[in-house]
Structure 1
């Protein structure tokens, strides 16, 4: 079988489904769900699903990230290398510093019949090279803005070459999408953790005490969206770049719409539960969620735009305004 690897953004032929089958093996060895594996390689889960089903072809860059996550040679995914022995699955926890997890091993060359495929080996402790690239991209976007960040800046932050960056992410658009997707996944993970904790609390509480659960959970969701920590500020600064790009890019626009659809659904579900519990008034959950999330966005933008000590909107102002909205517009008994 012959495969032309081509440029990182080019599609890999897979008429017989051999590439997809090898990717399935990698996912199986990783011991995680398909969605979690997509998160590790910073790929849209729906794209991964379509590629595995044969309705979409993988790109060279996507296979590079899959090879990195599976700790195997990219050439094997293309049918050009020996069957690999299962390697350790990368731990996706964040690096503790910008330079954590830098590759020290040499970069081997895997020969296909038509092209050499470079495979970067990375320390598994930080989740692999692709996630390191994405985290550094998020940090640099937050500090300088997307259009001020060069690929060479990202390469320097990762202690690697621009070619290695393009090997995993062909262009700036892919880097922005990956950075936004990573922020989305982090935000979704925090909300999921909150939901699990709230579910456990509901199971343990008495019926009378449980009536306050939805109100408390909504306040906790609001706290998660208030840019107090450095990580929260970074993610909000990336959102600002996302909004600008979403107006010009169909791909980023779809990503933006998908995230906000999920976020508003989360808020609406909490409001709906609060109505059933009697702690919230009978309102339209979806419309109330739209209003509340829009208020969060607007206030966060004001907070980020305010220079320290200049008398602008503060984080405390933002939180107080949002809680006031809950108390006056949603609470069954306005406070």
Structure 2
């Protein structure tokens, strides 16, 4: 019986989860990092591995792609028999006959840089940034990836899953960049850390602009989609926690005055969102408006008047 990409895979004996666990272990990365590679919510991967949630066919397809194993083996549709010649491998290193998964068309070779799923997500992000999510068709994404719409649906069942994956990828990229910025700050004081985080949120580069344009679509969808709404809440919770932690360190160091760190992080986040939307609108117009420099200057002014110790407070 043919399975659809969004269908949950029966795994009452836990055999599918055990095969996925072997793939994750063989990848040499953490479970969270593996979830990032397959553009999957880490909590969903954890629940699926523990048996409290079933994998979908599309999730297993992405796992197979990332782990360079045969999707049919993950699905349990055929045994891990050795075969002469090239074929998909198991985590243990044995070759398998390269028979296609019954869930979809035969798998295409993994791309050297990241694999088909991440290529799909990156092209989706680019197209959303250029045209808006509701103007982007699956056929457009397939054309950008030089593949078929069936191959897109093999990894992501529908447009909703594509938007969720695009938003999650942008979140992961932003979180990774944020962690790098904090690590680079090293022995710097909290004020320097905060300036770097604010620079990271200012849409100057093409990648920053694309991420912000995807956020705009996320804001609209968050009010209508439970899945996107959860991503929205999780991202902003993580971001405000990061900012509040930096503010608390600044207070302890004596560079920031005594303030409510969480409330200050909330106000600063609202200012960032409002200014960024003005920058994006101005760039689209091409004349006047708010520039990235204007945005960054305004953010530093807020830090100076509201946070820096010894600075005069705003009335």
Do Structure 1 and Structure 2 share a fold, with TM-score over 0.5?
Answer: yes
What's the counterpart of residue 232 of structure 1? 208
| CA–CA separation in structure 1 for the residues paired with 2:229 and 2:286 | 35
CA contact (8 A) 1:42 1:178 kept: yes
What's the counterpart of residue 169 of structure 1? 156
Q: Does structure 1 residue 331 correspond to structure 2 residue 308?
A: yes
- Scaled by the length of structure 1, the TM-score of the pair is 0.86
What's the counterpart of residue 269 of structure 2? 293
Q: Deviations over 1:77-109 (max 9, x none)?
A: 02233436357xxxxxxxxxxxxxxxxxxxx64
What's the counterpart of residue 94 of structure 1? none
CA contact (8 A) 2:104 2:154 kept: no
Worse-superposed segment, 309-318 or 180-189: 309-318
Runs of 4+ in structure 1 over 4 Å off: none
- Scaled by the length of structure 2, the TM-score of the pair is 0.91
| CA–CA separation in structure 2 for the residues paired with 1:304 and 1:116 | 41
What SS does the aligned partner of 2:100 have? strand
- When residues 41 and 119 of structure 1 are mapped into structure 2, their CA distance, relative to the original with a 3 A threshold, is farther
- When residues 309 and 85 of structure 1 are mapped into structure 2, their CA distance, relative to the original with a 3 A threshold, is closer
Within 5 Å, which residues of 2 pair with 1:215-254?
A: 215-254=191-230
What's the counterpart of residue 85 of structure 2? none
Q: Does structure 1 residue 110 correspond to structure 2 residue 100?
A: yes
For 2:166, which of 174, 179, 197 is the aligned residue?
179
What SS does the aligned partner of 1:244 have? helix
What's the counterpart of residue 48 of structure 2? 51
Worse-superposed segment, 227-236 or 306-315: 306-315
1:216 shift after superposition: 0.2
Within 5 Å, which residues of 2 pair with 1:1-335?
A: 6-83=3-80, 85=89, 109-110=99-100, 115=102, 117-198=104-185, 201-202=186-187, 213-306=189-282, 307-334=284-311
1:6 shift after superposition: 1.3
| CA–CA separation in structure 2 for the residues paired with 1:279 and 1:5 | 63
1:301 shift after superposition: 0.3
| CA–CA separation in structure 1 for the residues paired with 2:175 and 2:56 | 26
- When residues 121 and 309 of structure 1 are mapped into structure 2, their CA distance, relative to the original with a 3 A threshold, is closer
Q: Which runs of 5+ in 1 are unaligned?
A: 88-107, 203-209
CA contact (8 A) 1:27 1:37 kept: yes
1:265 shift after superposition: 0.2
| CA–CA separation in structure 2 for the residues paired with 1:226 and 1:86 | 44
1:155 shift after superposition: 0.1
- When residues 182 and 116 of structure 1 are mapped into structure 2, their CA distance, relative to the original with a 3 A threshold, is closer
| CA–CA separation in structure 2 for the residues paired with 1:167 and 1:150 | 16
| CA–CA separation in structure 2 for the residues paired with 1:81 and 1:167 | 19
CA contact (8 A) 2:70 2:90 kept: no
Number of aligned positions between the proteins = 299
| CA–CA separation in structure 2 for the residues paired with 1:170 and 1:309 | 38
CA contact (8 A) 1:73 1:81 kept: no
